[in-house]
Amino acid sequence: MTLVETTAVEPAPAQKPQGYWAGVGARLVRDPLTMICAGVVLALILAAVFAPWLGLADPYKGSMIARLKPIGTTGHLLGTDEQGRDMFARLIYGGRLTLFIGLMPVVLAFFIGSALGIVAGFVGGLTNTIIMRTVDVFFAFPSVLLAIAISGALGAGIVNSLVSLTIVFIPPITRVAEAVTSGVRALDYIDAARATGASALTVIRVHVIGNVLSPIFVYATSLTSVCMILAAGLSFLGIGVRPPEPEWGLMLNTLRSAIYINPWLSALPGMMIFVTSLCLNLLSDGLRSAMNVRD
């Protein structure tokens, strides 16, 4: 073996050293489970976005005589709901609101929470105390309870759901951002940068953000699955999306009345929530190991 190896050595071709993101990409591509999950999530998002051009039935058009048709009915691949509307079309269209309300709050909370956490971690002192003690208060609420409390007080509606879920996810992201930033701030290169006379803003912009963003990002992706479940849960309770909009949680709620007539049909919207949330979780796990983030 040694002989083969020594003879096989050739001058290595001049290679550009692989960057961090290229490495992450290469590791992701070699991870089949993560790629499958990424594919499923991407397919759901694309189907939802391009739903009007997919030649689906009208998701709002009901029919009194074609109510609760079973899965596999001709003309209605996945049957019809309690108002005779095509289930397949409603499930695809349902992805629009469900995915939007399920993912957007984490995106918003990522920006707001990162900003708060980086400021708290970098500035320290009183600023840190004020921000982090406020965050602690929000941790006194289980996330489901907080989401329902705020949505319940504000009332149903898409914007209200977005607001309440964003508020739910800002505190955990802020806490992680603060912890990571405090760790980075103690490193020598920050002192070095300051010694050269760089302003606090420059140090944050040039030296801190690049080093803290990927752990915060990975943490944020791990919240998307919970956010999806909560967003659909709010609609399920009747304090999220209003009828007749197609939304998976709301559909699950309205189809509960059909549970004795056509049970598996009524479980379909929940199946969509489950598959999406599972894929988001696995995708986040894959990202975490590809990006070498330890928790």
Partner 1 sequence: MLSYLIRRLILVLPVAFGVSVICFLLVQIAPGDPLTAIMPVDATAEEQAAMRAAYGLDKPLPVQYAIWIGNLAQGNMGKSIATGRPVAGEVFGAVQNSLLLAVSAAIIAFPIGTFLGFLAGYSRDSWIDRAVTALSITGVSVPNYWLGIVLVIIFSVNLGWLPSMGAGPGGSQSWAWDWLHLRHLILPAVTLAVVPIGIVARTVRALAGDILTMDFVQALYAKGMSRADVLRHVARNAAATALSVMGLQLGYLLGGSILIETVFNWPGSGFLLSNAIFQRDLPLLQGTILVLAMFFVAMNLIVDVAQAAIDPRIQRT
Applying CB under 8 A, the residues found at the interface with partner 1 are 133-134, 136-138, 140-142, 144-145, 148-150, 152-155, 225, 229, 232-233, 236-239, 252, 256, 259-260, 263-264, 266-267, 270-271, 273-274, 277-278, 280-282, 285
- Among all chains, which residue has been given the structure tokens 């988001």? 280
Provide the minimum distance between the beta carbon of 58 and partner 1 in the complex, in angstroms, as a whole number: 26
* Nearest approach, Cβ of residue 5 and partner 1 (Å): 29
- Min. distance of Cβ 230 from partner 1 in angstroms? 9
Sign of the Cα pseudo-torsion (252, 141, 111, 207, in order): negative
Q: Are 268 and 70 in contact (CB under 8 A)?
A: no
> Which is nearer to partner 1, 89 or 229 (by Cβ)?
229
CA 140, 144, 149: angle at the middle one, nearest 5? 80
Q: Which residues of 27-52 are buried (b: 16+ CB within 10 A; e: fewer)?
A: bbeebeebeebbebbeebbebbeebe
| Distance of alpha carbon 153 from alpha carbon 148, whole angstroms | 8
Q: Give 98 or 114: the residue with its C-beta nearer to partner 1.
A: 98
Angle between helices 87-123 and 263-290 (to 10 degrees): 30
Q: Phi and psi for 279 in degrees, rounded to 5?
A: -65, -40
CB of 150 to partner 1, least distance (A): 7
Q: Report CA-CA distances (Å) from 256 to 68, 72, 118, 249, 270.
A: 12, 20, 45, 11, 11
* Minimum separation from the CB atom of position 283 to partner 1 (A): 11
Looking at the Cβ atoms of 45 and 193, the one nearer to partner 1 is 45
Smaller CB distance to partner 1: residue 26 or 153? 153
**Is residue 159 classed as helix, strand or coil in its secondary structure?**
helix
Q: What single-letter DSSP state applies at residue 207?
A: I
**For residue 159, what are its two tokens?**
């914007």
Residue 257 CB, nearest distance to partner 1 (Å)? Answer: 12
Largest CA distance in the chain: 80
Identify which of residues 190 and 283 has a Cβ nearer to partner 1 in the complex.
283
Q: Which is nearer to partner 1, 60 or 274 (CB)?
A: 274
Least separation in angstroms between residue 137's CB and partner 1 is: 3
Q: How far is the CB of 149 from partner 1 (least distance, A)?
A: 5
In the numeric block, which tokens belong to residue 50? Answer: 């391009």
Smaller CB distance to partner 1: residue 124 or 270?
270
207 or 266: CB nearest partner 1 = 266
Residues whose CB is less than 8 angstroms from the CB of residue 203 and which lie 6 or more positions away in sequence, other chains included? 122, 190, 193, 194
